[in-house]
């Protein structure tokens, strides 16, 4: 649960990202990502307090479409991709214990 | 009739129109070429011969019925992150093994409408994350110019198959240089269109504010033809722009004068550490453009040096969100767990390769509470500065000339264990994605070891016509096209 500013806790962040890591991966990624984070520190050279952040390359504003019924993807084709399915539904592990 | 696989789109299209060959003949030649060389090059992940020949038959029938699109009957290879209905779309990841696309990407629908023959699916770095196609979980691709060298990436298969005459042309995608860099490494032409020119619907998203689909071809004219086919507004991608698609190819004529064209040379792009052979080839190309009548002006892109830092924050942040969909529930790999969270963690551990995991973790970190302002928001602000540099530069010139990469293609394994070293190679391509404008890569020479070198021609937003014109004039008055790799 590192909240220190001198690097990230790779194991903790991986948990947030839902990626299980082996101990070897944790050690390897920790070193590699610390190096990347040290590299991006160079952005601190810039004073950007008066600069607008840019989220999108080309300015487009609200895009609306007509609220009309369109064609959806074929249900059988979509369900056929599910690792586990029954009766036209995707099967998932039990979420709520009774 | 032989050797149709060696032709460009324009040449094949002329032969098809003149009735000198059929699309079936062309597909047969391309398949024979794949059989002869792909064992060495390794560009293709999947190839459906019967389906390709069936499409070619239909194209021939359509031509007989009077149709004449320049892409009609032309075989094209598709990067394995574009959805083609009924085909796999693995993104070269184990997590998508077994997935069959239930729909066509918009660019694929446009290719089908034009009558192109979708040959098969080509290799890439997993989820387009990489610069060498070494991060591919499902295939190994070599550079046709020297099989010990990487083809570049992430669209490595798309570039290698075109260079090796295993396709007439291909589609790639470019998030930080993934079309331009492999095109340069393999001696092809590639275009990163302006953001919003081409619909991203059906492109497996890596970084949605940066991704664009584009052509990899043998000539600049071919890129113009293919670009014209895939561009245009699409209601399925609300970031695509409502703007008429220019007749890109018609504007490329035998007139190779660049009189009246101002070309900018950014001093920051000739960085310390650049390979001297790359620098010389690019400077020679600049002099050549001047001899064609262009005026060369100095421009400055002072914030471009921050592009890698900005890119690896923004791209990983967007990737961490986009790749959340690969969770083992609706498609692809599933590794069972005791509860849903356990299932997600195990599935993603088994399904993703190291580079994808690293980027998801980095992206999750820069978006996480307490670090968002320090990393993500700051990167977005510097992104504004990078775009403003281009806006300023384009008040002084029509296009910018630069190298595509600091070095020619390197040997396999050379950078595979050092992510930061690999990232730094993207220094000359990422600024364009961040700013959203367009750029073209065209061959401009060879290093002494025989590897190709690329010239980057950067245009302002929606100025594809300008970069195609400059690239075409350069290509038509130089001899680089004549060289072909000897694959051994």
Any idea what DSSP says for residue B406?
A: S
Residue A96 touches chain B, beta carbons under 8 Å: no
Distance of alpha carbon B190 from alpha carbon B443, whole angstroms: 10
Q: In chain A, whose CA is at the least distance from the CA of B359?
A: A33
Q: Which residues of B touch A93 (CB under 8 A)?
A: 336-340, 343
- Name the B residues in 245-304 with CB < 8 Å from any A CB: 303
Distance of alpha carbon B134 from alpha carbon B156, whole angstroms: 9
The reply to whether residue B194 touches residue A65, judged by beta carbons under 8 angstroms, is no
Question: What is the least distance, in Å, from the CA of B339 to any CA of chain A?
Answer: 6
Residue A36 touches chain B, beta carbons under 8 Å: yes
Q: Which domain holds residue A5?
A: 1-45
Total structural domains within chain A: 1
Whether residue A69 lies inside any domain: the answer is no
CA B19 to chain centre: 32
Catalytic residue among B132, B170, B178, B320: B178
Selecting from B309, B360, B368 the residue whose C-beta is nearest the C-beta of A43 gives B309
Whether residue A18 lies inside any domain: the answer is yes
Selecting from A8, A19, A60 the residue whose C-beta is nearest the C-beta of B348 gives A19
Selecting from B239, B309, B377 the residue whose C-beta is nearest the C-beta of A53 gives B377
The dihedrals phi and psi of B77, each to the nearest 5 degrees, come to -100, 145
pLDDT given at position A55: 86
Residue B202 touches chain A, beta carbons under 8 Å: no
The reply to whether residue B370 touches residue A73, judged by beta carbons under 8 angstroms, is no
The dihedrals phi and psi of A89, each to the nearest 5 degrees, come to -125, 155
Q: Which residues of A touch B380 (CB under 8 A)?
A: 53-55
Residues B106/B236, Cβ–Cβ less than 8 Å: yes
Any idea what DSSP says for residue B368?
A: S
Residue with tokens 């530069």: B393
A95: tokens are 């979420």
Distance of alpha carbon B178 from alpha carbon A43, whole angstroms: 24
Q: Which residues of B touch A51 (CB under 8 A)?
A: 381-382, 384-385
pLDDT given at position A62: 79
Residue B183 touches chain A, beta carbons under 8 Å: no
Distance of alpha carbon B296 from alpha carbon B279, whole angstroms: 16
Residue A17 touches chain B, beta carbons under 8 Å: yes
Whether residue A9 lies inside any domain: the answer is yes
Burial B167-182 (b: 16+ CB within 10 A, else e): bbbbbbbbbbbbbbbb
Residues B62/B80, Cβ–Cβ less than 8 Å: no
CATH number for the domain formed by residue range(s) B4-260+462-475: 3.90.1300.10
Quick one: pLDDT band at residue A3, thresholds 50, 70, 90? very low
Selecting from B235, B329, B433 the residue whose C-beta is nearest the C-beta of A92 gives B329
Active site residue B154: yes
The dihedrals phi and psi of B199, each to the nearest 5 degrees, come to -65, 135
Strands (DSSP E) contained in B289-335 are 295-299
Q: In chain B, whose CA is at the least distance from the CA of A60?
A: B239
Whether residue A66 lies inside any domain: the answer is no
A48: tokens are 């950007």
Residue B95 touches chain A, beta carbons under 8 Å: no
Whether residue A25 lies inside any domain: the answer is yes
Tens-place pLDDT, residues B134-172: 999 999 999 999 999 999 999 999 999 999 999 999 999
Whether residue A77 lies inside any domain: the answer is no
Which residues lie across from B427 on neighbouring strands? none
CA atoms within 13 A on the CB side of B257: 3
> Which of B158, B148, B147, B154 minimizes the C-alpha distance to B131?
B154
Residue A50 touches chain B, beta carbons under 8 Å: no
In whole numbers, what is the pLDDT of chain A averaged over residues?
89
Tens-place pLDDT, residues B14-42: 999 999 999 999 999 999 999 999 999 99
Residue B352 touches chain A, beta carbons under 8 Å: yes
The reply to whether residue B384 touches residue A15, judged by beta carbons under 8 angstroms, is no
Distance of alpha carbon A35 from alpha carbon B444, whole angstroms: 34
* DSSP H/E element including B348: helix B340-351
Distance of alpha carbon A8 from alpha carbon A26, whole angstroms: 11
Distance of alpha carbon B450 from alpha carbon B146, whole angstroms: 8
CA atoms within 13 A on the CB side of A23: 0
Selecting from B312, B327, B331 the residue whose C-beta is nearest the C-beta of A36 gives B312
pLDDT given at position A60: 76
Distance of alpha carbon B62 from alpha carbon B74, whole angstroms: 13
Interface test with B, best of A30, A57, A62, A90 (most B CBs within 10 A): A57
> Which of B390, B398, B393 minimizes the C-alpha distance to B263?
B398
Distance of alpha carbon B262 from alpha carbon B267, whole angstroms: 16
CATH number for A41: 1.10.20
Catalytic residue among B13, B154, B223, B320: B154
The reply to whether residue B235 touches residue A84, judged by beta carbons under 8 angstroms, is no
What is the maximal distance between C-alpha atoms in chain A? 59
Active site residue B79: yes
Q: What is the DSSP string of A25-82?
A: HHHHHHHHHHHHHHHHGGGGGS--TTPPP---SS------------PPPPHHHHHHTS
Distance of alpha carbon B445 from alpha carbon B132, whole angstroms: 20
Strands B75-79 and B44-47 come out as unpaired
B302: tokens are 């002072």
Quick one: pLDDT band at residue A98, thresholds 50, 70, 90? low
**Structure ipTM:** 0.93
Distance of alpha carbon B28 from alpha carbon B186, whole angstroms: 24
Distance of alpha carbon B129 from alpha carbon B353, whole angstroms: 10
Residue A4 touches chain B, beta carbons under 8 Å: no
Helices and strands (H and E) in chain B: how many = 15, 11
Distance of alpha carbon B56 from alpha carbon B23, whole angstroms: 5
Catalytic residue among B15, B79, B221, B469: B79
Whether residue A33 lies inside any domain: the answer is yes
Residues B224/B13, Cβ–Cβ less than 8 Å: no
Interface test with B, best of A16, A18, A60, A68 (most B CBs within 10 A): A18
Selecting from A3, A19, A55 the residue whose C-beta is nearest the C-beta of B209 gives A55
The reply to whether residue B349 touches residue A20, judged by beta carbons under 8 angstroms, is yes
The reply to whether residue A54 touches residue B383, judged by beta carbons under 8 angstroms, is yes
Which residues lie across from B263 on neighbouring strands? B296, B399
- Chains A, B: CB contacts under 8 A, how many? 167
Whether residue A70 lies inside any domain: the answer is no
Strands B117-122 and B44-47 come out as antiparallel
Q: Does residue B154 have a cis bond before it (omega within 30 degrees)? A: yes
Low-confidence ranges of chain B (pLDDT < 50): 1
> Given 3-state DSSP classes, what are the helix, strand and coil percentages for chain B, each rounded to the nearest 5?
45, 15, 40
Q: In chain B, whose CA is at the least distance from the CA of A27?
A: B358
Question: What is the least distance, in Å, from the CA of A31 to any CA of chain B?
Answer: 11
Residues B390/A42, Cβ–Cβ less than 8 Å: no
Selecting from A46, A80, A93 the residue whose C-beta is nearest the C-beta of B100 gives A80
């Amino acid at each position: 649960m590192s909240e220190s500013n001198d690097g990230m806790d790779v194991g903790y962040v991986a948990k947030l990202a839902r990626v299980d890591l082996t101990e070897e991966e944790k050690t390897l990624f920790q070193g590699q990502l610390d190096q990347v984070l040290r590299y991006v520190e160079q952005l601190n050279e810039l004073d950007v307090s008066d600069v607008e952040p840019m989220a999108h390359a080309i300015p487009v504003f609200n895009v609306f479409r007509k609220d009309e019924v369109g064609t959806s993807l074929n249900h059988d084709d979509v369900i056929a991709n599910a690792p586990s399915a029954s009766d036209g539904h995707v099967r998932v592990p039990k979420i709520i214990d009774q | 009739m032989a050797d149709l696989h060696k032709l460009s789109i324009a040449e094949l299209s002329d032969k098809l129109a003149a009735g000198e060959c059929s699309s079936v003949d062309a597909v047969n030649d391309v398949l024979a070429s794949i059989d002869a060389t792909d064992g060495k090059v390794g560009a293709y992940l999947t190839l459906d011969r019967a389906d390709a020949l069936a499409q070619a038959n239909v194209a021939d029938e359509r031509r007989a019925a009077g149709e004449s699109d320049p892409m009609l009957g032309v075989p094209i290879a598709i990067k394995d992150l574009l959805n083609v209905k009924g085909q796999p779309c693995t993104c070269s990841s184990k997590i998508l093994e077994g997935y069959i696309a239930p729909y066509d990407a918009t660019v694929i629908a446009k290719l089908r409408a034009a009558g192109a023959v979708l040959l098969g699916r080509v290799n890439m770095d997993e989820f387009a994350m990489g610069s060498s196609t070494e991060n591919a979980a499902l295939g190994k691709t070599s550079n046709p110019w020297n099989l010990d060298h990487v083809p570049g990436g992430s669209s490595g298969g798309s570039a290698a198959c075109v260079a090796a005459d295993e396709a007439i042309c291909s589609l790639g995608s470019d998030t930080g240089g993934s079309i331009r860099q492999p095109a340069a490494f393999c001696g092809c032409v590639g275009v990163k269109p302006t953001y919003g020119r081409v619909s991203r619907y059906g492109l497996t998203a890596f970084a949605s504010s940066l991704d664009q689909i584009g052509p990899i071809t043998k000539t600049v004219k071919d890129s113009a033809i293919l670009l014209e086919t895939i561009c245009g507004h699409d209601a399925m991608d609300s970031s695509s722009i409502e703007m008429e698609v220019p007749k890109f190819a018609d504007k490329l004529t035998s007139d190779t004068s660049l009189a009246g064209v101002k070309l900018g040379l950014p001093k920051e792009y000739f960085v310390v550490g650049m390979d001297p052979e790359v620098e010389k080839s690019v400077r020679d190309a600049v002099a050549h453009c001047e001899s064609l009548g262009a005026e060369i002006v100095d421009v400055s892109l002072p914030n471009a040096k921050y592009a890698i830092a900005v890119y690896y924050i923004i791209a990983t942040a967007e990737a961490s969100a986009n790749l959340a969909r690969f969770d083992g529930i609706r498609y692809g790999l599933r590794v069972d767990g005791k509860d849903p969270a356990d299932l997600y963690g195990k599935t993603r551990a088994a399904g993703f390769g190291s580079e994808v995991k690293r980027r998801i973790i980095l992206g999750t970190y820069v978006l996480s509470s307490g670090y968002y302002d320090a990393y993500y928001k700051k990167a977005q602000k510097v992104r504004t500065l990078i775009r403003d540099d281009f806006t300023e530069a384009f008040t002084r010139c029509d296009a910018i000339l630069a190298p595509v990469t600091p070095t020619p293609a390197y040997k396999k394994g050379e950078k595979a264990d050092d992510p930061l070293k690999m990232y730094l190679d993207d220094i000359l391509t990422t600024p364009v994605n961040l700013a959203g404008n367009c750029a073209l890569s065209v061959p401009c020479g060879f290093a002494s070891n025989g590897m190709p070198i690329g010239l980057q021609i950067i245009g302002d937003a929606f100025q594809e016509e300008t970069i195609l014109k400059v690239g075409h004039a350069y290509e038509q008055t130089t001899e680089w096209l004549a060289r072909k790799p000897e694959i051994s």
